[in-house]
A = this chain, B = another copy of it.
Amino acid sequence: MEAVNFNHWVITLVCVDGPGIVHAVTGAIADAGGNITESQQFTSIGTGRFFMRLQVESVADRAALEAKLLPVVERFEMDWTLDVVGRPIRTLILVTKEGHCLADLLFRKSAGQLGIEVPLVMSNHPDLDRLAGFYEIPFEALRVNSNSDMKAFEDRLIEVVSKYEIELVVLARFMRVLSPETCAALAGKVINIHHSFLPGFKGANPYRQAHERGVKLIGATAHFVTDDLDEGPIIEQNVVRVDHSSSPDALKRIGQNEESRTLTQAVGWLAEHRVLLDGRRTVIFH
């Protein structure tokens, strides 16, 4: 008698909503000998699109499962993904000088709490080389002092994404703006973190501005990068309470903590295929 090896799959499906979708999908899975262990769905009123995320245990291999799912995918013209649960996604991290987000991402990764592998950290400054080195991640710095430097940086970025088969690019306090061409080339693959206040502040030193204005909450927003700067679909937001006694330095320290935990949370959901795009919005299956 032989042991049976179960594979554990995660499937995401997006299509125009209509009757019979769930039945067709679950039928295909049953045909492949699959047992659904997790299932979430959502229909977006605004766009009329249907979103589904499934986890499935099955003895079927990828080819066998795909063979059963493809007719359904084609019938409903679905965007879809099929992946092994827990496979670390190939992630490129871009940084500048501030290390708090990079430190949290690499610590969580090394502690087994974040399903990513990081073939490279890229930066426009040499400062964070040691931090990457501590976690044994290659680090590549390219100074950016001019528009042509930035062009070279972005060319290298595109090259790296291709060479390392990067699935996710994380701007972890990367202080340069990507060109519309790069945003288009990497659409849906790049996320960013920035501070968030009520009201919002523009320009330099936002924590000093927040202090001068006496805000009572400070926070952070993780979002997809589009060529509409800081305006891509939001993945996660957090805030914490502060008061009049918080100095600008304290606000900055508290705010950085929110930035790193919010970005790490967003990366974690992406790694588990829990984030789907619905036009300018995200659907997050927690």
A: which residues have CB within 8 A of B?
17-20, 22-23, 26-27, 29-30, 33-46, 196-200, 211-217, 219, 221, 230-231, 233-239, 243-245, 247, 278, 280-284
Query: Cβ of B20 and Cβ of A198 under 8 Å apart?
Result: no
**CB-nearest residue of chain B to A216:** B237
Known: A23-B26, A239-B239. A46 touches B200 (CB 8 A): no
Our pick among B43, B213, B239 for the contact of A234 (Cβ within 8 Å) is: B213
Known: A19-B34, A33-B19, A40-B40. A215 touches B198 (CB 8 A): no
**CB-nearest residue of chain B to A277:** B214
Our pick among B23, B30, B199, B281 for the contact of A196 (Cβ within 8 Å) is: B199
Q: How far, in whole Å, are A15 and B225 apart by their CA atoms in the complex?
A: 45
Known: A198-B200, A200-B199, A236-B216. A244 touches B283 (CB 8 A): yes
The 5 A-B pairs at the shortest CB distance, nearest first, are namely A214-B281, A23-B26, A196-B198, A216-B237, A23-B30
Residues of B near A197 (CB, < 8 A) are 198
